[in-house]
């Protein structure tokens, strides 16, 4: 059955469900393993849309006790589809029809046939990062978090490794903080609105220890807490898609530059020209 509608599932005879149980179970476990290993989705709370798991389960489902390895070219197609679905918010609004289409296409891919999986329109620009507010459980925010994870961010102040599994398995916002502290921006003469302060482009993965050191300081002030070696500093910033102009304390210029860096990565992942 290549339909995502629960009503269609309920109409299946019990024997058909029992016959497919092991195959579906295998698909679910392999799909979750793929999400963890290849996409850093350590908690289903961070999965941008639940229908993604439905399509992945169909792809990874197998009646074999030891399924054959997935060809690398198929893996690349699946990852491209994943990011394109996330950035286009494909299943966010009444996604049953789109899910059904993708279920059909993923079966073609699985069988080694010609397919159109992921060949839907994706419109990406910097507004995705400057207009969307950081709000846990929203499609845009969870997509953004997974994008950040692709660079394996280092601790912002110390430059040490961050355990993404520890951070992302919690599925909450405790480890995500403003790069330009909220209190600092609220004191600004520019009187930024909440949606400007809390936009995606002003957030990154920051440990509570680092965030406590930053407090409400401007970037130019908390720069002194960071490594003095420029190469190490550049490495840290790169893992956060953070531009060097952050230390000029020009918030609007920073947002523009960071949104462009994030957009470049988003286009790379989703293969948008």
Which class for 238: exposed (0-12), middle (13-18), buried (19 or more C-beta within 10 A)?
A: middle
Residue at 31 is within a domain: yes
Q: Are residues 264 and 131 in the same domain?
A: yes
For residue 1, what pLDDT band results from cuts at 50, 70 and 90?
very low
Q: Are residues 260 and 165 in the same domain?
A: yes
Summarised one tens digit per residue, pLDDT across range 197-227 is 999 999 999 888 888 899 999 999 999 999 9
Residue at 119 is within a domain: no
Q: Which of 68-82, 83-97, 241-255 has the lowest mean pLDDT?
A: 83-97
- Please give the biggest Cα pair distance in the chain: 69
Q: Are residues 102 and 150 in the same domain?
A: no
Say yes or no to pLDDT of 132 above 90: yes
Tell me if 168 sits within 8 A of 43, measured CB to CB. yes
Q: Are residues 177 and 264 in the same domain?
A: yes
Q: What is the pLDDT of residue 173?
A: 67
Which residues lie closer than 8 Å to 180 by C-beta, 6 or more apart? 197, 202, 218, 219, 246, 251, 254
Summarised one tens digit per residue, pLDDT across range 33-87 is 999 999 999 988 899 999 999 999 999 998 887 888 899 999 999 999 999 999 9
Q: Are residues 56 and 28 in the same domain?
A: yes
Give SS3 for 162. coil
End-to-end CA distance of the chain: 34
- Model confidence, pTM: 0.91
Domain termination site, one of 48, 77, 110: 110
């Amino acid at each position: 059955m290549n339909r995502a509608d629960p009503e269609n599932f309920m109409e299946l005879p019990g024997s058909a469900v029992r016959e497919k149980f092991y195959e579906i179970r295998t698909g679910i476990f392999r799909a979750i393993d793929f999400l963890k290993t290849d996409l850093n989705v350590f908690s289903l709370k961070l999965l941008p849309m639940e229908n993604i798991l439905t399509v992945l389960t169909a792809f990874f489902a197998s009646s074999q006790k030891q399924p054959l390895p997935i060809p690398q070219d198929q893996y690349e197609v699946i990852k491209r589809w994943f990011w394109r679905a996330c950035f286009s918010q494909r299943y966010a609004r009444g996604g049953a029809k789109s899910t059904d289409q993708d279920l059909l296409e993923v079966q073609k891919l699985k069988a080694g046939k010609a397919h159109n999986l992921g060949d839907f329109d994706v419109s990406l620009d910097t507004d995705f990062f400057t207009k969307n507010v950081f709000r846990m459980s929203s499609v845009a925010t969870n997509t953004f978090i997974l994008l950040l994870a692709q660079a394996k961010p280092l601790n912002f102040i110390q430059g040490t490794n961050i355990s993404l599994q520890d951070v992302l398995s919690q599925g909450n916002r405790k480890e995500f903080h403003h790069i330009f502290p909220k209190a600092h921006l609220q004191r600004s003469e520019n009187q930024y609105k909440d949606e400007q302060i809390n936009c995606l482009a002003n957030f990154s993965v920051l440990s509570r220890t680092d965030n406590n050191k930053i407090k409400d300081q401007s970037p130019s002030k908390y720069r002194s807490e960071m490594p003095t070696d420029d190469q190490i500093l550049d490495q840290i910033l790169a893992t956060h898609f953070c531009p060097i102009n952050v230390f000029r304390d020009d918030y609007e210029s920073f947002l523009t530059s960071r949104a462009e860096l994030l957009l470049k990565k988003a286009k790379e992942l989703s293969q948008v020209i």
